[in-house]
Amino acid sequence: MSSDRSDRRSDQDGDEGPVFSAEQARQGEIILRTRTRRIIFVAGLVGIVILIAVVRFAVG
């Protein structure tokens, strides 16, 4: 059974898609092309800030 799993992984890891070096992989950029994606991204940031404030208020 485990050999089936490793076979599937090797099939998926074939020569498909680009290969990036470690240096290239670290340099990413966030691309928010649509208004909906921008709103979700900003809402997530605001949510994190609110969560931190609530946790600090509850603990302190």
Cα separation, 58 vs 60, whole angstroms? 6
Mind listing the pLDDT tens digit for each residue in 1-57?
A: 555 554 444 555 556 888 888 887 777 677 889 999 999 999 999 999 999 999 999
The pLDDT, as a whole number, for residue 47 is 98
The pLDDT, as a whole number, for residue 7 is 47
Cα separation, 29 vs 27, whole angstroms? 7
